[in-house]
Structure 1
Amino acid sequence: MADTEKVWLKHYPPQVPHHLNYPDVPLTQFLVDAARDYPERDAIVFLGKRMTYRQVLEASYRLAHALKSLGVERGERVGIMLPNSPQAVIAYYAVLFAGGVVVQINPLYMKRELEHQLSDADVETLICLDMVYSRVNEVKAQTKLKHVIITSIGDYLPFPKKWLFQLKNRFENTHVEIPEDPGVYRLKKLLSQASASPMEAPYKSGDDLALLQYTGGTTGLAKGAMLTHRNLVVNCCQAEAWIYKAQRGTDSILGALPFFHVYGMTVVMNFAVRLAATMILVPKFDRDLILKLIVEHRPTYFPGAPTMYVGLINHPDIKRYDLSSISACLSGSAPLPIEVQERFEELTGGLLVEGYGMTESSPVTHSNLIWERSKSGTIGLPWPDTEARIVDLDTGEVLPPGQVGELQVKGPQVMKGYWKRPEETAKVLVDGWLSTGDIGKMDEDGYFYIIDRKKDMIIAGGFNIYPRDVEEVLFEHPAVQEAVVVGVPDPYRGETVKAYIVLKEGQKVSKEEIEKFCRERLASYKIPRLVEFREELPKSIVGKVLRRVLLDEELQKKQNEGA
């Protein structure tokens, strides 16, 4: 695609180049550079604990040497099952320094999910939290796991917090005793015994595998997206170019997005290291803690998910907090309702813009402009060196602006393919073009809109209904805090629209009032015929509402009714 066809380029601010020169280096080089240029700058702030870039690099070298001593070889997959913490950052870079391939694992995974991921990636070494060890031990015999390195949240807490944490665990009977089994090691002991001498990642080219990032598995078992050093280096550099007001060695980023999710890994951890920025780490989203950290540590950037911003703007004391340090928030992982964006900006004075990406693209491909006028309700423009197009759902033909089809993307941040799944790779990756599974359109200016997931589209009485259209209207209702729409089986219409709604605290509204509200704003066939009020909605760890869970509940109800 020639630049003349990329209509979005004319909307780039002059500070953002159309093309970038990417360094041919392993991802670890960003940490080496940050520690060289800003050795005493705080890399991490974690519940009162501070670590400089020099300290993080030294700990990464020590753990890399320890991993090599355990037999980790170039290309070997090493699992990391940790919440946001100093250990998560150290382990990530240590694995790459040792030449291994990082496999990020959600600490909340239960036996089935954990066994699948460890087995699929052939993980022999795992770094995990003591609190998940019992689950790891349950599946160990069914996997190739040989070495388990254990750490505790308390390992990186300052005194007296560390002492209080241990006391609290014993008092609440949550203290975890780790057996002295063969193949089980304590992270702190390994670090104390290992060399701190510098180590270069055994890097051959940008095509070297750095990460197996598993997809959410909403349509079956999770697949491992093969992301290379070049993929991750590129997406970091693209972020740096797009967020052009960020200054190396001066900014700080609030790390509420989990690093075991590709979005948090790139736009918080890797991006922060690239900028030699301070990461203010949050092990678990808690809106009171988030507000306190913003006031105390004054972060300049706060990447998040829509549900995080929803939680903050609905905090009863939000106006008491000074959030003026935040220059920008990049929202991803799920659609950002316009009402949430406007309310957040009104309350905080910070800028909140929507972006877009996928696990398979490291992940970011699009974003709205941050400091210039952009288009609300869109995912923005493709990032530098990224191509995007809309194709017909049936024929694959490229569609002109304004027409609805499937979004495809192409760029140097797109994965090599799925781990051990050439057939699955061939379905989504053709001539470098990645089929996203998202339905959208592009306007005359090159702004892209996501209408919905292809698999989430509701077909009721022959009409195509996109859940996001209905959800945007529901969010406009003054009593609605959260809403999600799914298509449930209907004997007459095939599917019918059902809305699940969480009301704001102290608000009351009837199903009839919701229907009347929608009837004034939507075509009749889009109006939810079924409405269910809930205290909360099922969500993933990054706050994405799990439609599949809701749909499975509906299908189970139907089965029970027919029994």
Structure 2
Amino acid sequence: MESDKPIWRECYSHPVAWDTAFEPMSLPDMLLEKAEQTPLAPVIDFMGRKFSYSDVAGGARRVARGLLDLGIGRGDRVGLFLPNVPHYVAAYYGAMMMGATVVNFSPLYTVEELKYQAEDSGTKLLFTLSVKALLPRALEVLNQSCIEQLVVGSIAGALPTGKSLLYRLFKAEDEADVPEDDRRITRFSALIANDGDCPPVPIDPVNDIALLQYTGGTTGTPKGAMLTHQNLTANARQVAVCDPNVNESDRAIGALPLFHVFANTCVLNRTIARGGEMVLLPRFNAKQVMDAIERTRAPLMFGVPTMYQAMLDSPALHGADLSALKVCISGGAPLPQELKLRFEEATGARIVEGYGLTESSGVVSSNPYEGGNKQGSIGHPMPGTRVKLLNREDPTRDADPGEPGELAFSGPQVMKGYWRRPEADKDVFVGGYLRTGDVATIDAEGYIRIVDRIKDMITVGGFKVFPSQVEAVLYRHPAVKEALVIGIPDAYRGESPKAFVALREGCMASGDELKIWLNPQVGKHEQVVAVEIRDSLPKTLVGKLSRKELVAEEREKYDAAKRANG
């Protein structure tokens, strides 16, 4: 429950004052300011090729000019269907220089998902690459949706000279043929073949939408969060000032996909806000990440828990020199404490857990990089961010003192609303605060702890079961690598908990053994009816464990059994 002097303000753990102000700023201005201050400093390391702030600012200007020549202007939606490549950075800032709104499209989307998001957002132009993993789907969407034009780049063109030649020689089978269609398809190289002379477009940072960032759709139809320039630059600066290492090299590993809001704020915009450098990798691969840390001596990494687990599981860990790595920020999903402790012991780096969501431009809260770092906590709010707990049954009231409640927050990073979804805005905003759907507690030192998601809670005979609490016990078992608990239909109790587990390599355990081990350690209503062993558990596009597939499977089984029994 928030008071005039909430406890998290009294015990604030970040190295700046809670009431630090973030003046309105556009994303292009943030980039251009750094390019003017440190034009020759590197901002991108892509497979060993360096791009300076001057390079990136110039590339963005040429993209802006090229888009203007293609008829793209203020308010138009420009899609990015790209992995982590330099083209992404130039297209992102270049489109915004034109006053256009960027729309992120995941490279893992199906054609149907691409078409839905294109139509919902009204995207006119899409950036992609000439690779078989992307271009065929982009062409289908060009022919079947409102998208009018494609801009197609080449990975080889962004690589260092030697690697570019090797790519052309040995990766030719990965390349897709680009159709000749001058009216609808433009090569990225042709788009930027200009002097970058583009008339400035006035941007209102507070009101103009910089990015339509679609929610993952794990609980329904994806919605586009309208993130303004100020939302994004404020959140980038909030995260930047929470890093106390102002005199050290700011070099971050960029393996987390930039199309995701976590990476968009923390890898891309935060790095530029600090005048730092991002080591971009086209996709996450544990060995490649460790090689990049060793090669660049990067002290910082942002990732989701499954990335850190994959690094622990990789045989390359034992021979890797990770001594430069100091801090790893974990977000996107709860961080199992056993994973945190094992990773820190194996690497010597510290994992700091934070929390955010699409609607917050990325980050709401974080543990401090140095000092207090409470296990299982998501830390204190970002500077300028207010949090409180709402009553779970009636969100118009605050939670009772000492009781868990739905976490809600307000601050400069809160989205403007959902794209063309005024009815959804009414559900998510309460008294100027944004509801997160997550149940939380706030302890005596103001540290926030997520208990569970409201929609994930299981109702067992009238009692509420938080899946994460049962999962936390499962993670204590030495054979358990990943765990998810869901509610399955129960004719008598309404729902019953069931666990799904993936085992660590080389470990053996049966579902019955784990059930017998688990149930005495949890409350009677939390006891699982079964533990099912799987080779792997379903994950979202960025590697978060996902319950929805398991819930759908179990519902289908239940419905089929009912039909069979008449």
Supply the AA of the counterpart residue of 2:525: Y
TM-score, normalised relative to structure 2: 0.95
Q: Which residue number in structure 2 is paired with residue 140 of structure 1?
A: 142
User: What secondary structure does 1:502 align onto?
Assistant: strand
Q: Which residue number in structure 1 is paired with residue 469 of structure 2?
A: 469
Contact kept, 8 Å, 2:47 with 2:159, in 1: the verdict is: yes
Superposed CA deviations along residues 100-127 of structure 1, whole A, max 9, x for unmatched, are 1110110111122111110111111111
User: What secondary structure does 1:476 align onto?
Assistant: coil
Task: Show the 5 A alignment for 1:27-426.
Answer: 27-131=27-131, 132-170=134-172, 173-181=173-181, 182-191=183-192, 193-197=193-197, 200-247=200-247, 250-396=249-395, 397-426=397-426
d(CA) in 2 for partners of 1:389, 1:279: 34
Contact kept, 8 Å, 2:95 with 2:101, in 1: the verdict is: yes
Contact kept, 8 Å, 2:287 with 2:316, in 1: the verdict is: no
Superposed CA deviations along residues 129-180 of structure 1, whole A, max 9, x for unmatched, are 223222122233442211110112222112232222233333xx43300101
Contact kept, 8 Å, 1:84 with 1:281, in 2: the verdict is: yes
d(CA) in 1 for partners of 2:518, 2:378: 25
d(CA) in 2 for partners of 1:303, 1:14: 18
- Displacement of 1:379 after TM fit? 1.1
- Greater Cα offset, 103-112 or 311-320: 311-320
d(CA) in 2 for partners of 1:452, 1:97: 40
Task: Show the 5 A alignment for 1:473-488.
Answer: 473-488=473-488
Superposed CA deviations along residues 35-83 of structure 1, whole A, max 9, x for unmatched, are 2222222211112222111111111111110011111111111101100
User: What secondary structure does 1:364 align onto?
Assistant: coil
User: What secondary structure does 1:393 align onto?
Assistant: coil
- Greater Cα offset, 317-326 or 65-74: 317-326
Supply the AA of the counterpart residue of 1:57: A
User: What secondary structure does 2:171 align onto?
Assistant: helix
Contact kept, 8 Å, 1:123 with 1:144, in 2: the verdict is: yes
User: What secondary structure does 2:278 align onto?
Assistant: strand
Supply the AA of the counterpart residue of 2:190: K
Superposed CA deviations along residues 334-359 of structure 1, whole A, max 9, x for unmatched, are 00111111111122221111111110
- Displacement of 1:553 after TM fit? 1.9
CA gap of 1:478–1:87, structure 2 versus 1, over 3 A, is same
d(CA) in 2 for partners of 1:227, 1:427: 18
d(CA) in 2 for partners of 1:550, 1:247: 47
d(CA) in 1 for partners of 2:394, 2:305: 34
User: What secondary structure does 1:464 align onto?
Assistant: strand
Q: Which residue number in structure 2 is paired with residue 531 of structure 1?
A: 531
d(CA) in 2 for partners of 1:153, 1:495: 50
Supply the AA of the counterpart residue of 2:150: V
User: What secondary structure does 2:204 align onto?
Assistant: coil
CA gap of 1:247–1:68, structure 2 versus 1, over 3 A, is farther
- Greater Cα offset, 21-30 or 63-72: 21-30
Contact kept, 8 Å, 1:96 with 1:201, in 2: the verdict is: no
d(CA) in 1 for partners of 2:80, 2:378: 31
Contact kept, 8 Å, 2:13 with 2:380, in 1: the verdict is: no
CA gap of 1:447–1:195, structure 2 versus 1, over 3 A, is same
d(CA) in 1 for partners of 2:348, 2:301: 13
> Is 1:439 paired with 2:470?
no
- Greater Cα offset, 61-70 or 444-453: 444-453
Superposed CA deviations along residues 8-43 of structure 1, whole A, max 9, x for unmatched, are 122224731121222332111221122222222221
- Displacement of 1:183 after TM fit? 1.0
d(CA) in 2 for partners of 1:247, 1:17: 19
User: What secondary structure does 2:509 align onto?
Assistant: coil
- Displacement of 1:463 after TM fit? 2.0
- Displacement of 1:516 after TM fit? 2.6
- Greater Cα offset, 43-52 or 464-473: 43-52
d(CA) in 1 for partners of 2:170, 2:466: 48
User: What secondary structure does 1:109 align onto?
Assistant: coil
Contact kept, 8 Å, 1:401 with 1:441, in 2: the verdict is: no
User: What secondary structure does 2:10 align onto?
Assistant: helix
d(CA) in 2 for partners of 1:536, 1:32: 45
Supply the AA of the counterpart residue of 1:224: G
Sequence identity, in percent?
39
Contact kept, 8 Å, 1:401 with 1:442, in 2: the verdict is: no
Name the count of aligned residue pairs.
559
- Displacement of 1:401 after TM fit? 4.3
Superposed CA deviations along residues 539-559 of structure 1, whole A, max 9, x for unmatched, are 112211121011112223334
TM-score, normalised relative to structure 1: 0.95
- Greater Cα offset, 266-275 or 455-464: 455-464
> Is 1:503 paired with 2:515?
no
Contact kept, 8 Å, 1:240 with 1:246, in 2: the verdict is: no
